């Protein structure tokens, strides 16, 4: 199998390498691309040394089986269509293609059927959305999801490596705002992305549109408040959800316990620090909401793993299995 990673030196790109290693996948070729700044730097795949190459228009005019993009929307828009012409599948982590009707937006545990026979660009959803839709998809199937109200508590690594550097510098006494509109250390900032005419931010709109697209139901209502917090890794969501049918809380708990890629904590709660290197969406504090047609729960996921790299690698695996490559 021939694989390329664009953005291989970033938070998500490096984690993609780790996730592929953890699967013990043995690619015949693994090409790593980044900006001119990183050209010639070395990374390792297990014990294989790999030199990072500068991305240019010629780089992706060769046939890879899978090309991962984790270098932002601009790079994806400029280079992903070139890669898609020459390679079987392009998996993009940015928001560049997520709203395109003809581009699948995939969380394999929910809608891997979209990968059967598919070639071209696949979009990897937004980090806080992936960890939330995994449990919501389970509850939707059982009770018919109608409405979601969610507040997020999002780690600084969600802004890329510069987010971590910003927090670390402020921790050491610096007062440069860096990646954020306000000081993030010892603070919380209720803005992720830019504000739209609706009053919601772009990150909040992503949680609406992407939830509807992944669950294939445009009638689902989502009101999100997305908040940056001084945590390095791990997003948390406080989720309230309403359903068409009355919820049997015990059945909900059983279904969540049995679902793939979900860890359900029945009698305890979980924090971003406690999830470690888990690739699962964690759910705890499940309880009724305002009545028996609604629930509330606390939801934690590693934003760079399940929120980005692990889901992207899961897409590769699901596509490869569905199309006879694994
Ligand atoms: N971090 C998360 O939790 C998360 C979650 C979901 C989705 N995403 C998305 O994933 C993407 C990457 O995020 P990240 O957190 O990994 O960011 P990051 O840490 O800032 O890394 C960005 C990567 O893009 C590369 N890059 C930048 N400009 C480039 C260019 N012109 N040509 C080639 N490569 C270029 C960088 O290379 P250099 O090192 O050479 O500059 C680096 O490898 C973004 O679209 C982001 O929205 C991130």
pLDDT in tens, 131-157: 999 999 999 999 999 999 999 999 999
Point out the residues that are catalytic.
127, 235
Report CA(248)–ligand 1 centroid distance (Å).
42
The total domain count for the chain is 2
Same domain, yes or no, for 52 and 101? Answer: yes
Same domain, yes or no, for 90 and 172? Answer: no
Same domain, yes or no, for 120 and 171? Answer: no
Report CA(170)–ligand 1 centroid distance (Å).
22
Same domain, yes or no, for 83 and 185? Answer: no
Convert the pLDDT of each residue in 30-47 to its tens digit. Answer: 999 999 999 999 999 999
pTM of the model: 0.98
Same domain, yes or no, for 42 and 184? Answer: no
Same domain, yes or no, for 138 and 52? Answer: no
Q: Which atom of ligand 1 is nearest to the CA of 74?
A: 31
Q: Is the CB of 231 under 6 A from ligand 1?
A: no
Q: Is the CB of 17 under 6 A from ligand 1?
A: no
Q: Is the CB of 43 under 6 A from ligand 1?
A: no
Task: Give the DSSP letter of residue 58.
Answer: T
124: nearest Cα among 97, 101, 100: 97
Same domain, yes or no, for 195 and 103? Answer: no
Same domain, yes or no, for 134 and 121? Answer: no
CATH number, domain of 31, equals: 3.40.50.720
Report CA(256)–ligand 1 centroid distance (Å).
32
> Which pairs count as long-range contacts for 283-289, CB under 8 Å and 24+ apart, including other chains?
283/135, 283/256, 286/249, 286/252, 286/253, 286/256, 287/249, 288/247, 288/249, 289/240, 289/241, 289/242
Q: Is the CB of 10 under 6 A from ligand 1?
A: yes
Which range of residues forms the domain containing residue 141?
128-303
Convert the pLDDT of each residue in 82-126 to its tens digit. Answer: 999 999 999 999 999 999 999 999 999 999 999 999 999 999 999
CATH number, domain of 201, equals: 3.30.360.10
């Amino acid at each position: 199998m021939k694989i390329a990673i664009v953005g291989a030196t970033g938070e998500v790109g490096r984690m993609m390498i780790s996730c592929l290693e953890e699967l013990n996948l043995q690619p015949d070729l693994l090409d790593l691309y980044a900006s001119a700044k990183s050209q010639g730097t070395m990374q390792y795949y297990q014990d294989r040394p790999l030199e990072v190459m500068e991305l240019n228009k010629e780089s992706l005019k060769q046939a890879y089986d899978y090309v991962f993009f984790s270098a932002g929307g601009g790079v994806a828009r400029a280079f992903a269509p070139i890669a898609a012409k020459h390679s079987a599948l392009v998996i993009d982590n940015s928001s560049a293609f997520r709203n395109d009707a003809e581009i699948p937006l995939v969380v394999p545990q929910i809608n891997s059927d979209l990968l059967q026979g598919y070639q071209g660009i696949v979009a990897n959803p937004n980090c806080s959305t992936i960890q939330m839709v995994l449990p919501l998809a389970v509850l939707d199937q059982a009770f018919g999801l109608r409405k979601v109200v969610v507040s997020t508590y999002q780690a600084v690594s969600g802004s890329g490596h510069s987010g971590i550097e910003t927090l670390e510098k402020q921790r050491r006494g610096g007062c440069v705002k860096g990646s954020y509109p306000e000081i993030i250390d010892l603070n919380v900032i209720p803005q992720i992305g830019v504000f739209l005419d609706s009053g919601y931010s772009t990150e909040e709109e992503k949680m609406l549109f992407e939830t509807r697209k992944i669950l294939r139901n445009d009638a689902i209502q989502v009101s999100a408040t997305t908040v940056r917090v001084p945590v390095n890794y791990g997003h948390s969501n406080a989720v309230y959800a309403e359903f068409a049918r009355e919820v049997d809380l015990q059945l909900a708990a059983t279904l969540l316990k049995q679902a793939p890629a979900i860890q359900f904590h029945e009698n305890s709660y979980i924090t971003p620090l406690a999830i470690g290197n888990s690739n699962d969406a964690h759910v705890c504090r499940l309880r009724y909401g305002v009545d028996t047609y609604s629930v509330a729960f606390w939801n934690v996921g590693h934003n760079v793993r399940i929120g980005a790299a692990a889901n992207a690698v899961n897409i590769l695996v699901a596509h490869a299995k569905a199309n006879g490559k694994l």
